[in-house]
Amino acid sequence: MKTHLVILSIILFGSLLPFAIESKTLDPYKVLGVDRKASPREIQKAFHKLSLQYHPDKNKNKGAQEKFAEINNAYDILSDEEKRKNYDLYGDEKGSPGFEAGNSRDHGGYSYFTSGGPGETGFSFRPDGWQNMGGQGNSRSFSFSFGGPGSQSSFGFDDIFSNIFGGNMRGGGQSDGFSGSARSQSGSSSSPKSIRSVNPQLYKKEIAGKGITWLLLSYSPTMKGTQYYESIIEDVAGSLQGVLKVGSIDCEAESSFCKELGLYPRGAPKIFVFSYRASQNGSLVEYVGDLDVKKLKTFCQDHLPRFSKRVELGHFDFLSDTGETLPRVMLLSTKKDTPVIWRALSGLFHQRCVFYDAEAHDVSDPKVRSLGVDKLPAVVGWLSNGEKHILKAGISVTDLKSAIHELSVLLENFEKKNKKATSTQGKKMQTESGDKQIPMLTGSNFDAICGGRTPVCIIGVFRSSRARDKLETILLSVSQKSMSRRQNAASSSRDSISYALLDATKHPSFLNSFDKSGFKSLDKLLVAYKPRKGKFSAFVGEITAEEVERFISSVVNGDVQFTNTRQKPTLK
């Protein structure tokens, strides 16, 4: 109370202390060089331009760092709707009008009156509040600091009078009025305003392995330049809206989480992209380039999902009847590389659709006409039963976000249609196939199935009942295809194929005929055997309908390299 009376006496009756007076214009509109009616986007652009010009890492001139701090402080006020409104009304972003509200326009900035060392705080008057003490009546705000280093006492003009007349002082001497000292000009804020806050739960639920690229900022509230990083990220996110999402992680609040992910910032914020470039499950990749919108945007595009296979038209006859349970979609565009939109969609619909894309320039091209496309770009889809659909022709893109939304709706509807078709086709195949099955290879039927009169014999090798069931289901489906169906045994057609299963636990020597290891480490594999030539090729990748179909198609087309057998395989 005594302290407050002393301060009040100084204010009301004149200062007995020598003040070092420093005047500095801090009107945020003037600092950023924008009009008071400037839009948020115009403010952001101005901030970004000035930040690049005065960033301490790029500008070593005297005063650049101070100017950079002013720019960040101005942007902190004008980029926040509430703070900007308060400033326009009262001349201060905190919204306390002080003793007199005064004129809400043309605030010239702040004048600082300081006493003591670093760490001190004080109080401030509203514009025009110093007129009786010889101040300038030109809408300036004045700030005072008292006490020595480490002092935590901070008063607003309202606090002084409320305390004298019986009001409650807020805990720690803090007020909701104007701060006694100038706002920190480090350029940091408690958290980025327009970027979603990320915690471990959100990371697990919406980021890790979800097929969507995220641009992430890791920071600490005390770090300088956070707003500068945020501005760069906002610009990139704006230009890639719909293609990626953005988030920030406060590594002071989420310390263990940041250390676990390896993105704890040291001295300055860090930028990461959750990338699908190297792994289908995704991984965090740090951006270490220049803080430049164009370069960061390119980096993000390079790390978008790559789940769409780039193909050439004319090599997709097998798409008409695949046996795969997932629908297949192919984009035809004039782009030499997979377009950004299609890469983003391939991530959003990963493991829901199989993606392809091909370059096409002219609808008069026979390969394009064969697909039924009359306008480009176009999206063609195949249901799992082989039924073809033109999902969209003559695609017009006004912006990424709307295009992503429109095509997502198309793919979602096609996915639903495929589920109905798959259910119907499954019941039909079950009825038609009856007791049909892939034969088990034995000594008695080996010559009939994989003898010298058979051009190619596809053998599904298994070591467990589960592996056998999966192989039999896939091979049964593939064997129904016209391109790979076995013809009459007496036929000399080079394209005829036979199918069989082999229990590797009962016939280990059979596999040793192909490879010395006998593929003992594998639970299941496919062997394409050419009896006439004594050659074989083994497929040891992931056994799915899609991959098996692709392997057999490559065998038929001669695109698979065959190796001589070690000896003629036989079964006893």
Class (C level, CATH) for 196-302: alpha beta
Q: Characterize the bridge pairing of strands 388-393 and 378-382.
A: antiparallel
25 vs 32: CA distance, rounded Å:
12
Cβ atoms of 331 and 377 closer than 8 Å: yes
pTM for the complete prediction? 0.48
196-302 and 309-432 share one CATH topology?
Answer: yes
pLDDT at 251: 93
Cβ atoms of 207 and 169 closer than 8 Å: no
317 vs 321: CA distance, rounded Å:
8
Q: For the chain, 572 residues long, give each residue's pLDDT as a single digit of tens.
A: 444 443 434 343 444 333 333 334 478 999 989 998 888 888 888 888 888 888 877 788 888 888 888 888 888 888 888 888 888 887 776 655 543 333 344 444 333 333 333 333 333 333 333 333 333 333 333 333 333 333 333 333 333 223 322 333 333 333 333 233 333 333 334 444 568 999 999 999 999 888 889 999 999 988 878 888 988 998 898 888 888 999 999 999 999 999 999 888 888 899 999 988 877 788 999 999 988 899 999 999 999 998 999 998 876 654 544 446 789 999 999 999 999 999 999 999 988 999 999 999 999 999 898 888 999 999 999 888 778 899 999 988 778 888 899 999 999 999 999 888 777 655 554 444 444 678 899 888 888 888 888 889 999 999 998 889 889 989 988 887 644 444 433 333 344 788 999 998 888 888 888 988 888 888 899 999 999 899 999 998 888 888 888 888 888 888 888 999 999 888 87
102 vs 89: CA distance, rounded Å:
9
pLDDT at 201: 93
Helical H runs in 262-360?
293-302, 340-348
Residues with Cβ < 8 Å from 496, sequence gap 6 or more? 454, 455, 456, 486, 487, 488
Cβ atoms of 502 and 461 closer than 8 Å: yes
pLDDT at 94: 65
Instruction: Assign domain 309-432 to its CATH architecture.
Output: 3-Layer(aba) Sandwich (3.40)
pLDDT at 257: 93
Q: Characterize the bridge pairing of strands 213-219 and 270-275.
A: antiparallel
pLDDT at 331: 95
How big is the chain, counted in residues?
A: 572
Instruction: Assign domain 446-564 to its CATH architecture.
Output: 3-Layer(aba) Sandwich (3.40)
pLDDT at 495: 46
For the chain, the structural domain boundaries read: 2-38+61-173, 196-302, 309-432, 446-564
pLDDT at 117: 39
Question: Would you report the helix, strand and coil content of the chain in percent, each value rounded to 5?
Answer: 35, 20, 45
